[in-house]
Amino acid sequence: MPQDRFASYDAAYVLGALSPKDRQEYEQHLRGCPDCANAVRELAGMPGLLSQVPPSLLPADGERPDPPPDDLLPKLLDRVRRERLRRRVITIGSAVLAAAACLALVIMLAFRPTIGDEPVAIPTATMSPVSKAPVWATIGLEQVDWGTKVDMHCMYEKRPGYNKSGVYLLIVVAKDGSEEQIGAWRVKPGQDARFPAATSYPISEIASIEVRTSSNKTLLSLTP
């Protein structure tokens, strides 16, 4: 059988390292490839690992780290992929993945633009699953003067037992415990939903962004 040219895109997609053109092609591919869709779901917890990196590993204010070696990203993606295969066999073993995630976070923060009061665009991130429903989504955030712009892309995989349509809600949970609904859409098996949304909360005040059912069951979650 011919080799799937998208087989190595999963980790780069979750890390937000694909170009806009490659990301669009990969998202189209995911709708018809269960193997790649499952690979993305297995790596979807990486944003949660990144949020746990201790401040001691991050560059100090005004400090610019040495440029990373050219082969760092390929090695990082290879380690993540090998760790994923290992977990399929023994179910436990996230040490290598956590170390790779720490390295990825240092690189992402070192080169993220933070000039003056200009808006800061956050790379698209994959939401972490909270249930077994075959749904996954990516979120893009951009901080502006009045709050935060949100770019939502939700995909509902067509699978036996999960073929019912329904209504999903996009909820922003602030760090003070308050909640704000910023979107609602009807999901249909095998179809994507992409739409812009917004919240008055700046990114620094957001505890999480969640996809919930109309009965308030959380399916996906992202910590900025």
Instruction: Using a pLDDT cut of 70, give the percent of the chain over it.
Output: 61
Average pLDDT over the chain, rounded to whole? 74
Asked if residue 1 is part of any domain, the answer here is no
Alpha-carbon gap, residue 182 to 212, rounded angstroms: 12
Same domain, 146 and 191: yes
One domain, residues 124 and 83? no
Q: How far apart are CA 50 and CA 109, in angstroms?
A: 11
Domain presence at residue 70: yes
pLDDT of 31 strictly over 90 = no
How many H-runs (helices) and E-runs (strands) does the chain carry?
A: 6, 9
Chain position carrying tokens 């939700």: 154
Range of the domain at 79: 10-110
For 174-222, the pLDDT digits (tens) are: 999 999 999 988 887 777 888 889 998 999 999 999 999 889 999 899 9
Per-residue confidence at 165, pLDDT binned at 50, 70, 90? Answer: confident
Domain of 58, CATH number, reads 1.10.10.1320
What pLDDT does 13 receive?
83
Query: In percent, how much of the chain has pLDDT > 90?
Result: 18
Res 5: pLDDT: 83
Residues 106 and 138 in one domain: no
The pLDDT of 63-81, averaged and rounded, is: 59
Domain count along the chain: 2
pLDDT at 30 over 80: yes
Is residue 24 located within the same domain as residue 45?
Answer: yes
- Give the chain's largest Cα–Cα span: 53
- Which among 32-46, 58-72, 99-113 has the top mean pLDDT? 32-46
**C-alpha–C-alpha distance, residues 203 and 6, integer Å:** 32
Q: Mean pLDDT throughout 73-96?
A: 53
209, β-bridge pairs: 172, 222
The Cβ-side half-sphere exposure at 204, using a 13 Å CA radius, reads 4
Alpha-carbon span 39 to 26, nearest angstrom: 12
Q: Are residues 27 and 84 in the same domain?
A: yes
Q: Looking at the predicted structure, is the pLDDT value of residue 94 above 50?
A: no
pLDDT at position 56 is 59
| Secondary element (H or E) of residue 28 | helix 20-30
Are 57 and 39 contained in the same domain?
yes
- How far apart, in whole angstroms, are the C-alpha atoms of residue 143 and residue 203? 6
Statement to judge: residues 43 and 104 lie in one domain: yes
- The rounded distance, in Å, linking the Cα atoms of 117 and 200 is 17
Angle between helices 95-110 and 72-90 (to 10 degrees): 150
CB neighbours of 137 closer than 8 A, spacing ≥ 6? Answer: 126, 127, 152, 153, 154, 155, 211, 220
One domain, residues 205 and 158: yes
pLDDT score of 89: 44
**Burial state string for 62-78 with b = 16 or more CB within 10 A and e = fewer than 16:** eeeeeeeeeeebeebbe
Cβ contact 130:221 at 8 Å? yes
In a domain, 200, yes or no: yes
CA distance 30 to 38: 9
Residues 96-148 have pLDDT tens digits of 455 555 555 554 544 444 444 444 445 688 899 988 878 889 998 988 888 89
Q: What distance in Å separates the CA atoms of residue 109 and residue 58, rounded to the nearest whole number?
A: 8
Q: Could you tell me if 187 and 193 are in contact, meaning their C-beta atoms sit under 8 angstroms apart?
A: yes
- pLDDT at residue 167, rounded to an integer: 87
